[in-house]
Amino acid sequence: MSGSVTAASGILATTAANPPWSWNLAADLHDMLGYPFMVNAFRAGTIVAIVAGVVGWFMVLRKQTFAGHTLAVSAFPGATAAALLGISATIGYFAFSLAAAVAIAIVSRPTRGNGFSEESAVVGVVQAFVLACGFLFAYLYKGFLGGVNAPLFGSSFAITNAQVVALGSFGAAVLAILAIIGRPLLFSSVDADVAAARGVGVRRLGVVFLIVLGAAAAEASQIAGALLVFSLLVMPAATAQRLTARPLSSIALTVGFGLVATWGGLTLAYFEPYPLGFCISSFSFGGYLLAHLSTWRLRRPRQPLATPHPVGVTT
Amino acid sequence: MTAPETLMAAGFFGQPFMQHALLAGTATALAAGLTGYFLVLRAQVFTSDALGHVAYAGALGALAFGFDPAAGLLIATIATACAMAGLGLRARPDDVAIGSTFAWILGLGSFFLTLYTTRHSGANSRANVTYLFGSIFGISASQAVLVTWITLGVCVAMAVLARPLLFASLDEAVAAARGVPVRLLGVAFLALVGVVCAESTQAVGGLLVLGLIAAPAGAAHRLTSRPYLGILLSAVIGVGAMWAGLAFSFYVPTVPPSFSIMSAAALAYVAAAATTTVFGVRADHALRRNVWRSRLHLSA
């Protein structure tokens, strides 16, 4: 099984062997899904798109894009450290992303008011240091030249059955935690002051959310690559929040956009010699641009979620 | 006893590659520290994150289509910086538009990488790693001199911009009312940041530019709330981290210089944060900002 996986992805890695694209879509799809490694890639992509979409939706709502990007790139040292130590890449991904989440949560403090904030400096320091660690590990592990691109840009189609199961169970755990904290998290994200006054543990929720974000980033980076996970986290959510302001339909839209981008990206990367991360981020970005153009001056951007009124109070 | 040490010391400054690295590194860290102070003050650190990634994509794009990569990344960063400022995007940490765009530009970078490596099969794929993570020990004399001249230009520009930019950053509305060209200042400043990100890419790489900008400036903001002292501290900490990193990697060659420099910078930040927390001498920015606002108002 795993032999055929690596063989097939090895074939895909050389440009000459990309399968021809005919205009018979059904036959093309049938051919593509005839390969077990493509089926696994689609399974993993689906799991990742759903988890990253839901977590990313909260990330965009909480305006933690920079922190999300930092947690996403933390997967790079995870992957290279795992290669250096000879342990499972999954363990490496999760260890580094969670450690970065805890570091940001400890060092940064909730900022009051607008404008100047030290938190962004903290996040920047963590991000640069984490990437430098990844570089060091890759440098020490002499598989340097080719080795650096796969964990960064997600060129790998080689996902095994066991990895799909692991991704699925981690994803289910992340979604379960989000389901438990979802409502108070939404409240505290929209209006932290009122939520705190009502007795919601805003700071604790923030820490838990950062850890959940780290776990989701670690999971997503196994398919999209550490540098491009961010596109799965931020773009579908940004697109959906541009289109609707209702939380539930917005989350559903986010997941939908994420799935379309991932499936489209996987298909494109199968038929064309383009890197997977580029294909996924291009589909996501195309959707984002379309959403912007379609709402451009037709109506005001609907962002009642961002207004300083508590949930349930209409003016 | 001291003979090998003096030999090593002579080697440290005697090696040509080390002289180039010291010159270029000092210049880079100085420029990054100066602009970084204002990026932290204006909560625009995310910009340097985005511009570093854009620099990588620009360099790889230029390589893929056969242009000069240094020119490619300079054009890419300045154009992106001006576009951001021109569109009125302030690149705060919450800026989804910037996040989405640079995530895609980075994807574009990986696409250019594929183009480049397939067209020039066997051509040095080390170029990719250089633009991601830098190679300061590989800087040539002419590059080091160029970086120094660019930094001189950045220093002069910052000296001219510092006061009005400080005013515009602390109190945009009042500065605008006093006739300070707030918007133009924002564009000019971000263009400068673009230049700094481009020149730093050679030394520490597009992905690590952020650390050179955020860590010294963040430490300076922790230590003092006086603006001019803070700018000075930021530059000094940046240059100090650069020297410490270069020295460490010179004597411990298994550790790449980019990692040493980033570690020294991160360590400086952690030390500043720990000191101010333990001794409770945390800079009171709210108070200081009001004092500085009123001074600027009086003298504008």
DSSP string, B1-41: --HHHHHHHHHHHHSHHHHHHHHHHHHHHHHHHHHHHHHHH
Pair of tokens at residue A294: 């379609």
Instruction: Report the candidate in B147, B153, B46, B23 with the shortest Cα–Cα distance to residue B92.
Output: B46
Nearest CA in chain A to B95: A65
pTM for this one?
0.82
The pLDDT value given to residue A157: 63
pLDDT of A110 over the 70 cut? no
Contact flag A234-B103 (C-beta cutoff 8 Å):
yes
Residues A58, A205 contacting (CB under 8 angstroms):
no
Percent of chain A with pLDDT over 70: 76
Answer positive or negative: Cα dihedral of B253, B258, B263, B268. Answer: positive
Give the model's pLDDT for residue B284: 58
Residue A62's contacts (CB-CB under 8 Å, 6 or more residues apart) are A189, A209
Mean pLDDT of A69-80: 85
Average the pLDDT over each of A209-213, B154-158, B205-209 and give the range with the smallest value.
B205-209
Please write the tens of the pLDDT for every residue from B127-159.
Answer: 777 788 888 888 888 889 999 999 999 999 999
> Cα–Cα distance between B229 and A93 in angstroms, integer?
41
Distance CA A40, CA A126 (A): 33
Mean pLDDT confidence for B218-243: 92
Q: Counting beta carbons within 10 angstroms of the beta carbon of residue B242, is it exposed (0 to 12), middle (13 to 18) or buried (19 or more)? A: buried
Rounded distance, CA B293 to CA B174, Å? 9
Instruction: Report pLDDT digits (tens) over B100-114.
Output: 888 888 888 888 887
Cα separation of B11 and B7, whole Å?
Answer: 6
Judge residue B124's burial from the number of C-beta atoms within 10 Å of its C-beta, 0-12 exposed, 13-18 middle, 19 or more buried: exposed
Which of A196 and A59 is assigned the larger pLDDT?
Answer: A59
Q: Would you kindly state where each structural domain of chain B is located, as residue ranges? A: 23-299
Nearest Cα residue in chain B from A139? B256
**Residue of A14, A66, A125, A227 to mutate when probing chain B, most B C-beta within 10 A:** A125
Instruction: Tell if the CB–CB gap between A125 and B269 is shorter than 8 Å.
Output: yes
Phi-psi region of A253 (alpha: psi -120 to 50; beta: other; left: phi over 0): alpha
For chain A, the distance separating the N- and C-terminal CA atoms, rounded to the nearest angstrom, is 60
Is A4's pLDDT higher than 50? Answer: no
With an 8 Å Cβ cutoff, are B100 and A67 in contact? no
Domain A2-306 has CATH 3.40.50.1100: no
A122 to chain B: closest CA residue: B218
Nearest in space to B32 (alpha carbons), one of B272, B249, B262: B262
CA-based nearest distance B158→chain A, Å: 20
- CB within 8 A of B171, min separation 6: which ones? B293, B296, B297
* pLDDT band at residue B170 under the 50/70/90 scheme: confident
Query: In chain A, what residues touch B256 (CB-CB under 8 Å)?
Result: 135-136, 139
Q: Is the pLDDT of residue A18 over 70?
A: no
Interchain proximity A132–B208, CB inside 8 Å: yes
Residues of chain B positioned with their CB less than 8 A from the CB of A64? 93-94
The pLDDT value recorded for residue A173 is 92
What pLDDT digit, counting tens, does each position of B180-206 carry? Answer: 888 888 889 999 999 999 988 888 888
Sequence-ordered list of residues with C-beta below 8 angstroms from that of A231, at least 6 positions apart, any chain: A224, A277, A280, A281, A284, A285, B100, B103, B104, B107
Q: What is the average pLDDT score of chain A?
A: 77
d(CA A208, CA A218): 15
Q: From the CA of B35, how many Å to the nearest CA of chain A?
A: 13
Kindly report the nearest CA distance between residue A193 and chain B, in angstroms: 18
Give per-residue pLDDT as tens, B5-41. 555 556 677 788 888 899 999 999 999 999 999 998 8
Q: Which amino acid is at A227?
A: L
Residue A27's pLDDT is 73
Of A121, A227, A235, the CB nearest to B40: A121
| Contact flag B208-A273 (C-beta cutoff 8 Å) | no
Beta carbons of B93 and A117 less than 8 Å apart: yes
Cα of B1 to nearest chain A Cα, Å: 31
Does the distance separating the beta carbons of A120 and B43 come in below 8 Å? Answer: yes
pLDDT at B238 over 90: yes
Q: Which of A27-36, A90-99, A274-283, B139-148 bottoms out in mean pLDDT, i.e. has the lowest? A: A27-36
The answer to whether residues B205 and B212 touch, using CB atoms and an 8 Å cutoff, is: no
How far away is chain B from the Cα of A120, in angstroms, using its nearest Cα? 6
pLDDT value for A156? 56
Q: How many beta carbons lie within 10 A of that of residue A313, not counting itself?
A: 9
Q: Which of A136, A238, A280 is facing B96, going by the closest CB pair?
A: A238
pLDDT of A2: 36
* Residue A313 backbone class (left: φ over 0; alpha: ψ -120 to 50; beta: rest): beta
Contacts of B128 in chain A (CB under 8 A): 148-149
Q: DSSP E strands: which ranges in chain A?
A: none
Q: Which of B95, B96, B270 to mutate to test the interface with A (most CBs of A within 10 A)?
A: B96
Could you tell me which residues come within 8 angstroms of residue A166 by beta carbon, excluding any fewer than 6 positions away?
Answer: A90
Hey, which CATH number is domain B23-299, 2.40.128, 1.10.10, 1.10.3470, 1.10.4160?
1.10.3470
Nearest CB to A230; choose among B42, B103, B129: B103
pLDDT of residue B48: 86
Q: Which residues on chain A are in Cβ contact (under 8 Å) with B92? A: 63, 120
Give dist(CA B132, CA A259) in Å, integer: 29
Domain coordinates in residue numbering, chain A: 2-306
Tell me how crowded residue A198 is: count the other CB atoms within 10 A of its CB. 13
Q: Is the pLDDT of residue B257 over 80?
A: yes
- Is the pLDDT score of A151 beyond 80? no
How confident is the model at residue A7, as a pLDDT? 38
Tell me: the pLDDT tens digits for A224-283?
677 777 888 889 998 998 888 888 899 999 999 999 998 998 888 888 778 788 888 899
pLDDT at B9: 57
Length of chain B: 300
Model pLDDT, residue A116 = 44
Both tokens of B268, joined, read 């400086």
CA–CA separation, B63 and B72 (whole Å): 8
Per-residue pLDDT band at B225 (split at 50, 70, 90): confident
